[in-house]
Amino acid sequence: MINPEITGKFIAQCRKEKQMTQKQLGEQLGVTDRAVSKCETGGSLR
């Protein structure tokens, strides 16, 4: 089973290593920066 908090931290870590903002990642994925934020905090994976 996927742990939302661990997955979110991994997404945030990868994004930061690429020196991207949540908005930039969202644009590449076709979602809003708010959606990226929810993913990174584990909110949208529950």
What does the pLDDT read at residue 42?
Answer: 85
3-36 tens-digit pLDDT = 999 999 999 999 999 999 999 999 999 999 999 9
What does the pLDDT read at residue 22?
Answer: 98
Whole-angstrom distance, CA of residue 5 vs CA of residue 37: 12
What does the pLDDT read at residue 17?
Answer: 98
Q: What is the CA radius of gyration of the chain?
A: 10
Whole-angstrom distance, CA of residue 1 vs CA of residue 28: 27
pLDDT of 46 higher than 60: no
Work out the pLDDT band at 45, boundaries 50, 70, 90: low
Which pTM does this prediction carry? 0.85
